[in-house]
Amino acid sequence: MLQMKHRITFQQMQEYVDPDTDRVVTDWVDIKSVWCAVKTIKGREYLSAVTSREHVERTYRFIIRHTNGIDDSAQTRIKYKDRFFNMESVLNDDEENLTMTIIGVETV
């Protein structure tokens, strides 16, 4: 059984009016928090990623329960603890609408 014991927050870049200054601000805004399993890539995934990425050790898999509204087409990132991850892909595991695997690369 997969233990989803880590909390992550999806953030999107959005424009909004700052209530203190009445100016339009562009910033990351929390859109949804979910429980997940966090996994590092290994084995064949590692070898595949080595050819395309310099910092493979910073690539993670986030496995969440299936949820609507999460995709990698919008400017969305993952906040995990005090770290941020760009979303590389979002996969509906086995096309069963039960879990989703998100590949994230840590930003430095």
Domains and CATH numbers, the chain: 6-106 (2.40.10.270)
pLDDT at 56: 46
What are the pLDDT digits (tens) for 83-104? Answer: 999 999 999 999 999 999 999 9
What are the pLDDT digits (tens) for 5-17? Answer: 999 999 999 998 9
Report the predicted TM-score, pTM, of the whole model to 2 decimal places. 0.80
What are the pLDDT digits (tens) for 56-85? Answer: 458 999 999 999 888 777 789 999 999 999
**Residue of 28, 50, 47, 37 whose CA lies nearest to 8:** 37
Contact 77, 107 (CB under 8 A): yes
